[in-house]
Structure 1
Amino acid sequence: MRSSPLTRLAQFTHFTAPQYFLLAGSFLIPLGSFAVLPFMSVLLHERLGMGLGAVGVVLAVASFVQFSGGVVGAALAERIGLQRTMLLALVIRTAGFAAFLPGLSRPTWAVAALFLVSAGAALYLPANKAYLVTGVGEERRAPLLSASSSALNAGIALGPIAAAPFVLTASAGLFTAVAVLFALITAGHALLPQATPEAPPEDDHSTQSAAEKPSALLPFAITVLSVYVFMFFQHYLALYAVGRTSTYFYGLVLALYALLLVVTQPLLSDWTAHLPYPRALRIGFTALAAGMAALALGHPAAILGGALLICAGEIVLFLKNDLEALALSPRSPAVVFGRQRLAAGIGAFASGIVGGEGYAWAERTDHTGLFWLAVAAQCALLPPLLLRALRGPIPYFCNGFYSVRRRVRERARRAPIQ
């Protein structure tokens, strides 16, 4: 029986004190980070005189470290524990923001500071998500992960707005404030109780059937594809929209997008959690395809409507992929989230390679709307092709999918709560 709106809201009032603290951190950490990181190209190029080619390489490598390093963070969490991993990550990140102070006049320090911040994020995120869901029943995971995502997106949206007046006029004060904020957050994490990553039963690896391995691959592959198509929108909407409307209208689009994402994802988390995965994929990729096609029209109303449709696709796909990865994998949550970060990094990297050339071609033809139609076609065609590719060498995939999930759930229920 479907829960009422009041019941769905009530599930966000029963978190533990450590969970509330981590959710607050999920807002404050991106608030501080995105007060600085979106302006890195300005700092490195205009203030420190680095060439745009060098700036592009630095930012690309830093992004790759931040995403792919999640696997290292997961392995570290399994070895030293979730709380200690988060604490170490925040110490590294705090040192990175402090290093930006001498980096305001020395490019080497600025680049080193950026890599420290990226490495800290890579170590922190898998352990953070794993700590949230450790010892939590499957029905509680969706509210926790959706609330964490909403807090993170709220911080991302507000960080650049809060910092914009100070980036160029009071850079030293801004970096000092961010470093102090991270030092305080680090001190708070030191007070969190220990939490050991959940481990599968001892016989898990020996008795795991062959069907479980490709089943667990599905959310990873879908995450790669989801991020790949989504990042076209993330990277190129500004170039496309500002030339057809204005910076103010583009800012309005981003604000409404963030508001819809922050408010709606937690409210729909229970519905998303109970969606069968194939239906969630159809809904999510259909929304992405429709949104990208709407952008191709180029009219302000179409740009706004397309962005909101893409937001709806993100709300369903990104949360559902994480939930399915947790449900289907016999590994600990830290490892699962580390792999999901790696999948996102692969998707973002591929999107950057394809999107740059694709958008440049569309600009040369003076029909940039074709770029968005090409992305919409990928949203429609690539998911069934990917599923067909996965099914090819493993014809039992569809029949075994949900029986595998039930077996993994049953093992999780029998395993002792940490």
Structure 2
Amino acid sequence: MSGRDEPFTLKTFLVISLIIYLGSISILAFNLRDLQDTIQKESIRIKELSDQISQIRSEISNLETQNISVQSTYSFSEVYDMVKDSVVVIRGKIIRQTIFGSEYGEVQGSGFIYSYDGKLIVITNNHVVEKASDITISLLSGETYPAYVIGRDPYSDLAILSADAPASKLKPLRIASSSTLKIGQPVIAIGSPFGLAGSITTGVISQLGRSISESATGGYPIADVIQISTPINPGNSGGPLLNLRGEVVGVTTAIIAGAQGVGFAIPSDTILRELPYLIRGKSYPHPWLGIRGVDMNYDIAKIMNVNVTYGLLVVEVIPKSPAEKAGLRGGNRTVIVNDLRIKVGGDIIVMINGTRIRNGDDLSTYLERNTKPGDKIQIAVIRAGRLVNVTLELEVRPPPG
């Protein structure tokens, strides 16, 4: 090949390459348009499928709601048949010291089986097993097995037991959230009043968010308690409080001596909140404010010359408590109100984090439901007739005693 032919050959090659390149671009552009059209069509199809899926989900949700509605019509006897084999009698021995020496006695209560992360446990009241030894659980069939305490909380009157029983014998109950409970809703209590195993009583939710006292709490209230009209008798303590779907919504715990139709139960939300701690033998960290107080009323308001008849009057601030560190003020003079000596002149707590506080029950319930140690809360108080806002950091409540 001559030197004059080389430029021609190179020029021809470049032209051909350019033609091929431009052709490729044209083909690619055409393919891109096809691809864009395909993507657009598929996007429309995906949206249609998404709408269909949403509709199916909605229909499933409606079916589930209808199913729940049907389930809620279970009769008392049907619920009893569903759960009777899951409720146990708890017995234990106690030693009492008297002026004559040691006396031996027996404690008795109720409990129910629950499965926590596959581990079968018995849930009951702390006061049933607190001072007991040689604890046993008995099924409705009469079979009895040894048990021992693995965790307990006197502040909520809850205890968790482990039983040396075959797993096939222990039938766990379901626990539902107590947050959906309504006043007037029918409930069922099953337990062993006076040793009468497998007894059922019925009633309604009388009120929510009550506070009660137990000797084991060292003066602190057991907060956020359910008040029920269901008859509760000695031996019922620790048994399940159930809705009409056979789900546990509380643990029956106490009565008012001499009263009829007034019982109390620890709500299931408290159980669910504390289980991760108690099942490992740890103490549940309750939030601590560090005050003692009384509910405000018209008579106290008149003596203090304030126009607030609700809230919690701070009678005393515990030394070195969160309340003292935040600057809350207790009473400074003692007066007689309805034959009771009350220290007045302290702050009146009327709101926490924007939530109205009507009394001590509201205060205790709000703290248990919504806060934990380390949280900073905003407390609105009436001080010398003026509204004052105080920021307080909650701490862990000290052990009882």
Structure 2 length normalisation: TM-score?
A: 0.27
- Structure number with the higher helix fraction is 1
Of structures 1 and 2, the larger Rg is shown by 2
Q: More strand by proportion, 1 or 2? A: 2
TM-score (norm 1): 0.26
